């Protein structure tokens, strides 16, 4: 694996051209990480804002304990720099469904297609490790960067929930996108 430190190689869950996914761990919750969730541009379309280290660590632990969701760090192949997160979950094991959530927290890496690459890796992980049949994601209708990332990664628009969100006194639709595991078709 080119350019990746040996101590990280064993922890990689999936690797793409420019990034890899590895388990998000408590040591990832640094001041830099927390600053992402205090940045109004990063959190504009997120529900998670102003997180504390305890909030994040409790959330990581709860995912591990309940096995209902899994958190991954999105890291650059070249340097190992953690630039965002991806979550598979919550998982509905009966119906083999899950959400797939992604955020590039480091704004220096916005607009480079890393979210699309991360979503593709997330699809691979969800379908192959967790045997998910259908992945879903939802976003504010004004969040076209997120929408385009999911569509480019292979999701399809499945529905629009009219006037679902209110953000800064503006009413917006919720766009629901999904991706189906071909193994179950």
Q: Which domains does the chain show, CATH number per domain?
A: 6-132 (3.40.630.30)
In terms of pLDDT, which residue wins out, 185 or 108? 108
Residues near 8 by Cβ (< 8 Å), separated by ≥ 6? 22, 75, 80
The CA angle 148-182-70, to the nearest 5 degrees, is 65
The helix (H) or strand (E) run that includes residue 149 is helix 144-152
> According to the model, what pLDDT value does residue 13 have?
92
- Pairing mode, strands 134-140 and 170-180: antiparallel
How does pLDDT run across 88-144, given as a tens digit for each residue?
Answer: 999 999 999 999 999 999 999 999 999 999 999 999 999 999 999 999 999 999 999
Q: Report residue 14 as tokens.
A: 């999936």
> According to the model, what pLDDT value does residue 136 have?
98
pLDDT at 5 over 70: no
Q: Of 22, 40, 133, 134, which Cα lies nearest the Cα of 77?
A: 22
Tell how many helices (H) and how many strands (E) occur in the chain.
5, 8
Question: Could you tell me the pTM of the whole model?
Answer: 0.92
């Amino acid at each position: 694996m080119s350019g990746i430190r040996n101590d990280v190689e064993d922890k990689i869950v999936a690797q793409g051209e420019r990034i890899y996914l590895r388990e998000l761990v408590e040591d990832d919750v640094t001041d830099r990480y927390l600053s992402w969730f205090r940045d109004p541009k990063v959190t504009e379309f997120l529900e998670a804002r102003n997180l504390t280290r305890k909030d994040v660590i409790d959330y990581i632990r709860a995912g591990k304990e309940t096995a209902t969701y899994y958190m991954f760090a999105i890291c650059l192949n070249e340097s190992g720099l953690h630039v965002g997160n991806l979550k598979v979950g919550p998982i509905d094991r009966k119906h083999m469904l899950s959400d797939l959530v992604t955020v590039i927290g480091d704004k220096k890496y916005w607009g480079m297609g890393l979210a699309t690459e991360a979503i593709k890796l997330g699809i691979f992980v969800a379908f192959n490790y967790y045997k998910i049949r259908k992945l879903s994601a939802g976003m504010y209708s004004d969040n076209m960067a997120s929408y385009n990332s999911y569509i480019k990664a292979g999701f399809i628009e499945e529905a629009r929930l009219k006037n679902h969100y209110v953000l800064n006194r503006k009413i917006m639709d919720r766009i629901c996108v999904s991706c189906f595991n071909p193994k179950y078709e």
